[in-house]
Each structure stands twice: as C-alpha cells, then as structure tokens.
Amino acid sequence: MADAAARIDPHHAIGDIDRRIFGGFVEHLGRHIYDGIFEPGHPSAGADGFRHDVIDLVAELGVSTIRYPGGNFVSGYRWEDGIGPKEARPRRLDLAWHSTETNEVGLHEFQAWLDHVGSDLMLAVNLGTRGTQEALDLLEYANADADTAWTAQRSANGRPTPFDVRMWCLGNEMDGPWQVGHRNADDYGKLASRTAKAMRMVDPGLELVVCGSSSSGMPTFGSWERTVLEHTFDDVDFISCHSYYQEMGGNAQEFLASGVDMARFIESVVAIADTVAATKKSDKRIMISFDEWNVWYLHNEEGGQNDKPEERGWPVAPRLLEDQYHVLDAVVFGDLLITLLQHADRVRSASLAQLVNVIAPIMTEPGGIAWRQTTFFPFSITSRLAHGRAVRVPVTSDTFTSERFGEVAAVNAVATIDDEGVSLFLVNRSTTDAAAVTVDLAPLLRELGREVAVVESALLHDDDRYAANTLGDPFRVGVRALDGAAVAGESLTLTLPPVSWGAIRLA
C-alpha cells in the first residue's frame, strides 16, 4: 500500500467547464450508422428505423455536441446525397473506408436522431474533394432563414426552419497523406481561411474549427499548427487535436502514462497558438477542440476487425474497428477525461471517437442486444458529475518510470465545483500498488463555510485488468461504490486499488 496526499482548494480554479467537452463523434464508418444507431426491423426500432435501446444508452452516456459525418469519410462526401426522398438517393463508393454508402441516413435523419438523444449537432464540411462553394451551399441549406433555392429545398424535404448548426469543422485531418484531398499546411491554411471568411458572410455567429495535426507524432506537428494559424488566426475560434492510445507490447505500465502524452500535446498546441497571437499582437485566444480521442487498437497484432477493408470488396456496413475494451483500457480512458478537465481553460470542446460499434463505448448485435463496454462507465459518470468549474488537485504520490516521459505520478486527480457540491475524479496508474489517498479539504471547507459528506462514489477496477463486457457476458464489468471513502474532520480518505479509476461526489 502506497500513501498519496491531495488537496482541493477552490482558489486553484482552472476554468469554467464547457459542456461540449463531453461531446461525441458519429461517422459513416463500419457498423456505426447502419446496424448501429439505424436498424429498421430491429425490435426496439421506431418508425424512423433508429434503435431506441441505443438511443437510451447514448442519452445515458451524456454526450453534448456530436461531430458528424466524419472523419475521413467527410473528405469524399457529397452532402446532397443524403437529402430528399430516400428511394432517389444514390449509392456511392466511400474511398476512406473502402465501403459502399447507401445514404439512407443524411442530415435530416441524423438531426432527428440527435433530437431523440438530446445532443447538439457539430458539422464537418468537405475540404478534401470539394471547397468553399460546397461549404457555403451546405451552410445555406442548414442555417439560412431566407427565401432561396436551397432553403426551399430544405422545406420541401420536411424542414421549413433552419437547423441552426453553431459549430463547424473546416475539413478533417488535412495533414494526413491518407486523407482524400490531402494538402500541405500552406495550401490548406489558405483554403480554410477563404472558406471561413465566406461562411461568416452567411452566418457571422458561427464557431469554426480549423484542422490541427492528426496526432502529435506526425512529422509536421508544430509547423503545421503554426502555418495554418498564421493563415486562419483571425477567422477561426478553435484548432483541433486528435489522439488515440493503446497498450503496445503488453506494457501496461507505459500505457497508463497516456494522460501525460495528451497533456503535453494540448500544452504544445496552446503554446503555438499563443505564439501566433503574440506575433499578430492580438489578445485573442484560440481554443482547443480535441474532437477525436479514445483508446484505439490501431496497430492490432492479431488483425481481425482492423484488417484493410479493401480486402473484402466494397461492402455495406462491414465490421470495422470493433475493438473490445477491457478494464485497463477504461482506466486509461478515465485518466484521459481527467486530463481534458485539467485543461478546461483551453479545451472547450472534445469528441469521443466514436459512439457505437466503431471503437465505441456502446456495442450492438444485429437483431439483438446493445451493451455497455468498460469505457462507457468513466464517460457517463464524469459527464453527469462534472459541472461548474474545474479545479486543480495537486497530488503527492509514488512515481513510476515511463520510457517516454520519465517519472510519472502514480495518482492523478482533478475536481469540479458547482453550486450543489464537489466532484473528485482520481486514477491509480500503478500496476502493482494500491494507493491510500488522503485529501485535504480544509481550503474547501473554509470557502464553503459548512461541512461536506460523501453522497456518491464509484470505482472501476477488477482483479483481472483484461476483463471485458461481451455479447456473451455483457455485464461482466461494472462499477461499484468506493468502499471506505469518508470525510472525517477536514480530510477525505479513500483507497484506490492498482489500475483503477474512481469518482466521488461531495455535497
């Protein structure tokens, strides 16, 4: 048993929490749309074809804004294919995932699904095979409140009032050579700037996201951000970050340091953005949209669902990227959420990629059940409990040595404070030692002028860190109360087993 000490001080505020930090991402990829959220004929499906068991789980997950329709998919997408009578919609080849897109679900259907789950829409425009004019057409169709050909068509398609989409992505991962229409930073920055300026002429109140690097490991990382922002600084509000993590070579301890990598990524992009601001003598602050993040076994040693789809022709809704998540993955995932909250002053939007079947917290079986993966629990609990403002929680704990990051603290934590109480989120990154954590509440109690008590706690841990929820055993892993968590005097005490994530609500 290792000892750890932490402190909650309301004066150590990071920033107000933008609820968009608990966003999601839905792409036309694999079985995400078809056989995932949309399965006409399923026992739970409504007349519109959407599975209500999945709707209930997405609502429980607590996602705020959902990015759509991609992802790599968007760089070859013609949005017009997804409007109008379904029987007249064309089938198209999707080059991103080497599949056939039926276009049964488009903008109108997806908005109807969002209305079911209670989330807002975040749209990405195609700056791969298309450009400024096509982005303007989509914006006019979606948002204009005027008598035009596009708005007349929108009304004829069943939507007389605007969709009023507020947040828009200017393309996707345009730094990636895998991207259809890939451009260098200079060419993309010029295109993004022209498109942003034109879109604001239609709707000045938009919030626009320019593409940052698709990972901090890209050879152009850093220089890409600087060049793109030099072109677009005055035109956009956000720059995107994308990052995925996985256990490599069975090294669980190194995997548990993933939050350190995410933190450094965020801080590097913030530094670059603020450097561009300084060169422009501007007090404007570009925010971060971390609009793709997750655990993803991209380098799957066993093959399986991450095989190249082109080996199977041009299928409709193939089983792609259907990672099965275990407890270790969920603990790292929970730590990534902690890291996002630790940067709430600049991370104002984030999108868990993705939601259903594809590297997802929710899985479905055609004609059968839907179930929660292990990663579902940290997201749903954090989204529900984290409100108000984020507060730094300094922790003194044992450390371990990471090959990439040197000495890493075994215990990581963040707190949030709202009008009703305080939420504390913690992770024990050690693979060997439990942590007895004592949290000093004295500064909090002085500020509140009254006592607090534990009213809810949750622990994600299993003696088998590779335990998972599956079709055959969908309830194998869950969360339980954090036994022994209690306030005595001015201290909160609790014990975190090795490889565990926990949450505590004080009221």
In this prediction, residue 417 carries a pLDDT of 98
Helices (H), 298-369: 327-342
Phi, psi of 26 (to 5 degrees): -125, 125
Q: From CA 307, how far away is CA 305, in angstroms rounded?
A: 6
Ramachandran class of 77: left when φ > 0, alpha when ψ lies in -120 to 50, beta otherwise: beta
- Would you give the distance in Å from CA 223 to the centre of its chain? 24
Q: Judge whether 501 lies within some domain.
A: yes
For the segment 201-219, the average pLDDT, to the nearest whole number, is 97
Domain co-membership, 375 together with 441: no
For the segment 290-313, the average pLDDT, to the nearest whole number, is 74
For the segment 139-151, the average pLDDT, to the nearest whole number, is 98
Q: What is the pTM of this model?
A: 0.97
Q: Judge whether 157 lies within some domain.
A: yes
Domain co-membership, 125 together with 65: yes
Asked whether the beta carbons of 221 and 215 are under 8 A apart, the reply is: yes
Q: Which tokens go with 476?
A: 């194998």
What are the pLDDT digits (tens) for 157-200? 999 999 999 999 999 999 999 999 999 999 999 999 999 999 99
The number of beta carbons lying within 10 Å of the beta carbon of residue 323 is: 24
Handedness of CA 151, 154, 155, 159 (dihedral sign): negative
Which run of H or E residues covers position 382? Answer: helix 376-385
When pLDDT is cut at 50, 70 and 90, the band that residue 313 belongs to is confident
In this prediction, residue 353 carries a pLDDT of 97
On average, the pLDDT of the chain sits at 96
When pLDDT is cut at 50, 70 and 90, the band that residue 304 belongs to is very low
Q: Judge whether 243 lies within some domain.
A: yes
Domain boundary among 385, 405, 433: 385
- Whether residue 3 is predicted with pLDDT greater than 80 in this model: the reply is yes
What are the pLDDT digits (tens) for 370-412? 999 999 999 999 999 999 999 999 999 999 999 999 999 999 9
Q: From CA 363, how far away is CA 371, in angstroms rounded?
A: 5
**DSSP annotation string for 413-468:** EEEEE-SS-EEEEEEE--SS--EEEEEE-HHHHHHHTS---EEEEEEE--SSTT-B
Q: Which amino acid is located at 170 in the chain? A: L
Domain co-membership, 437 together with 368: no
Q: Which tokens go with 326?
A: 């275990």
Pick the catalytic residue: 80, 134, 247, 292? 292
End-to-end CA distance of the chain: give it in Å, rounded.
Answer: 28
For the segment 306-313, the average pLDDT, to the nearest whole number, is 67
Domain boundary among 370, 385, 400: 385
Domain co-membership, 306 together with 256: yes
Helices 376-385 and 52-61 cross at an angle (nearest 10°) of 60
CATH code for the domain in which residue 357 is found: 3.20.20.80
Q: From CA 382, how far away is CA 229, in angstroms rounded?
A: 32
Cβ-count burial 144-162 (b if 16+ within 10 Å, e if not): beeeeebbeebeeeebeeb
DSSP-assigned beta bridge partners for residue 493: 438, 486
Domain co-membership, 331 together with 429: no
In this prediction, residue 303 carries a pLDDT of 43
Number of domains into which the chain is organized: 2
In this prediction, residue 468 carries a pLDDT of 98
For the segment 441-464, the average pLDDT, to the nearest whole number, is 96
Strands 238-245 and 13-16: unpaired
In this prediction, residue 21 carries a pLDDT of 98
Q: Judge whether 287 lies within some domain.
A: no
What are the pLDDT digits (tens) for 335-362? 999 999 999 999 999 999 999 999 999 9
Domain co-membership, 219 together with 315: yes
Domain co-membership, 313 together with 449: no
Cα atoms found within 13 Å of the Cα of residue 299, Cβ hemisphere only: 7
Range of the domain at 488: 2-8+392-506
- What is the rounded (10 degree) CA torsion for 292, 118, 159, 289? -20
Q: Judge whether 334 lies within some domain.
A: yes
Q: Judge whether 427 lies within some domain.
A: yes
Name the one residue in this structure whose structure tokens are 């949030």. Answer: 416
Q: Judge whether 147 lies within some domain.
A: yes
Asked whether the beta carbons of 132 and 195 are under 8 A apart, the reply is: yes
What are the pLDDT digits (tens) for 232-265? 999 999 999 999 999 999 999 999 999 999 999 9
Decide if 87 is catalytic: no
Pick the catalytic residue: 173, 225, 247, 254? 173
Domain boundary among 339, 369, 385: 385
Strands 454-460 and 406-409: unpaired
- Whether residue 299 is predicted with pLDDT greater than 80 in this model: the reply is no
Which run of H or E residues covers position 185? Answer: helix 185-202
Q: Which candidate, 119, 108, 109, 111, places its Cα nearest to that of 59?
A: 119
Q: Which tokens go with 298?
A: 């991209």
Q: Judge whether 284 lies within some domain.
A: no
Domain co-membership, 140 together with 171: yes
| Coil/strand/helix, residue 118 | coil
Decide if 173 is catalytic: yes
Domain co-membership, 376 together with 229: yes
Q: What percent of the chain has pLDDT above 90?
A: 96
What are the pLDDT digits (tens) for 18-64? 999 999 999 999 999 999 999 999 999 999 999 999 999 999 999 99
Name the one residue in this structure whose structure tokens are 């093959």. Answer: 303
Q: How many residues can be counted in the chain?
A: 507
- Residue 326 is classified by DSSP as B
CATH code for the domain in which residue 476 is found: 2.60.40.1180
Handedness of CA 66, 354, 298, 253 (dihedral sign): positive
- Whether residue 312 is predicted with pLDDT greater than 90 in this model: the reply is no
- Whether residue 301 is predicted with pLDDT greater than 60 in this model: the reply is no
Q: From CA 46, how far away is CA 343, in angstroms rounded?
A: 40
Asked whether the beta carbons of 405 and 257 are under 8 A apart, the reply is: yes
- Whether residue 302 is predicted with pLDDT greater than 70 in this model: the reply is no
For the segment 195-210, the average pLDDT, to the nearest whole number, is 98
Q: Which tokens go with 503?
A: 């949450």
Domain co-membership, 317 together with 420: no
Domain co-membership, 307 together with 412: no
On the 0-12 / 13-18 / 19+ scale of CB atoms within 10 A, 289 is buried
Domain co-membership, 381 together with 407: no
Q: From CA 419, how far away is CA 344, in angstroms rounded?
A: 18
